[in-house]
């Protein structure tokens, strides 16, 4: 009985050390040696200054930039210190309100575009930090961005293609466009 309790306490301690300290330290050591950039958050720099992470979305608005997903984080969108989805049910009036106001904003920024809006552009992501939009959502905005910047739409489309990641093995997951990378690439073009 008392030997059992001693074994329990000792094994909790020993395994805390093994699985709770040695194992994560070993993983950290190997990871930092093999993939230092990725293990530290995939930081993107612009002129030497860290401006974001390749994996964490940022808020973009205005006609000159590609917009990302809606973000439900508080108190401001894309607050990466507190990830969160909207958790609105599919028939919640709050959901329709959020979607409608996004539609209005998109339409106001690009009144000539009558094409239906890709669904990922009007809905909130699960994390509130989704870095991606679908290629369809990027293409939907290409005309507006081209006009606002006085560029050729073909040039914008080429830039979208460059920043699109395909499916894994061509099968798993979905093709996606990284909004931060795309917008930073836009700023690198003149204008």
Partner 1 sequence: MQIVLYFGILGVLAWPLGLYMARVYEGVPCGLDGVLGPLEGLIYKLCGIRPEEEMDWKQYAFAVLVFSAAGVFLLYLLQRAQGMLPLNTQKFGAVSPDLSFNTAISFVSNTDWQNYGGESTMSYLTQMAGLSFQNFLSASAGMAVLVALIRGFKRHSANTIGNFWVDMSRTTIYILIPLSLLYSLLLVSQGVVQSFDKYRTVTLTRTVNYETPKLDANGNPVKDASGSPVMERAQTKQQTIPLGPAASQIAIKQLGTNGGGFFNVNSAHPFEDPTPFSNFLECLAILLIPAALCLTFGKMVGDMRQGWALLVTMFLVLAPLTFLCSKAEQGGNPHFSSMGIDQAASALQPGGNMEGKEVRNGITGSAVWATWTTAASNGSVNSMHDSFTPIGGMMPMLLIQLGEVIFGGVGSGLYGMLIFAIITVFVAGLMVGRTPEYLGKKIEMFEMKMAAFAVLTVNALIKVGTAIAVSTKAGTAGISNPGPHGFSEVLYAFSSFADNNGSAFAGLNGDTVFYNTIGGIIMFFGRFWVIIPVLAIAGSLARKKHVPAGLGTLPTHTPLFVVFLIGVIMIVGALTFMPSLALGPIAEQLMYH
Least distance (Å) from partner 1 to the CB of residue 98?
9
Least distance (Å) from partner 1 to the CB of residue 47?
11
How far is it, in rounded angstroms, from Cα 159 to Cα 29?
Answer: 37
Compare residues 115 and 154 and give the one whose CB is closer to partner 1: 115
Compare residues 30 and 105 and give the one whose CB is closer to partner 1: 30
In the sheet with 176-178, reading across from the earlier edge strand, the strands are 132-133, 176-178, 164-165
Least distance (Å) from partner 1 to the CB of residue 8?
4
How far is it, in rounded angstroms, from Cα 44 to Cα 89?
Answer: 35
Least distance (Å) from partner 1 to the CB of residue 189?
15
Tokens 């306490």 belong to which residue? Answer: 9
Compare residues 154 and 161 and give the one whose CB is closer to partner 1: 161
Compare residues 8 and 154 and give the one whose CB is closer to partner 1: 8
Q: Which token pair is 157?
A: 């489309």
Residue 165: partners with Cβ closer than 8 Å, 6 or more residues away:
132, 175, 176, 177, 178
């Amino acid at each position: 009985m008392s030997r059992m309790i001693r074994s329990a306490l000792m094994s909790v301690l020993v395994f805390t050390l093994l699985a709770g300290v040695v194992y994560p330290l070993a993983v950290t050591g190997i990871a930092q040696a093999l993939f230092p950039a990725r293990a530290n958050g995939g930081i993107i720099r612009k002129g030497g200054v860290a401006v974001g992470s390749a994996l964490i979305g940022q808020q973009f608005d205005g006609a000159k930039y590609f917009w990302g997903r809606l973000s439900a984080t508080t108190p401001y969108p894309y607050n990466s210190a507190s990830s969160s989805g909207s958790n609105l049910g599919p028939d919640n009036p709050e959901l329709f309100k959020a979607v409608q106001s996004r539609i209005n904003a998109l339409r106001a920024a690009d009144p000539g575009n009558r094409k239906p809006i890709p669904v990922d552009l009007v809905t909130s992501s699960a994390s509130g930090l989704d870095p991606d939009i679908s290629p369809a959502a990027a293409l939907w905005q290409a005309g507006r961005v081209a006009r606002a910047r006085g560029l050729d739409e073909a040039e914008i489309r080429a830039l979208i293609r460059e920043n699109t990641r395909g499916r894994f093995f061509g099968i798993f997951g979905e093709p996606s466009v990284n909004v931060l990378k795309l917008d930073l690439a836009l700023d690198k073009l003149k204008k």
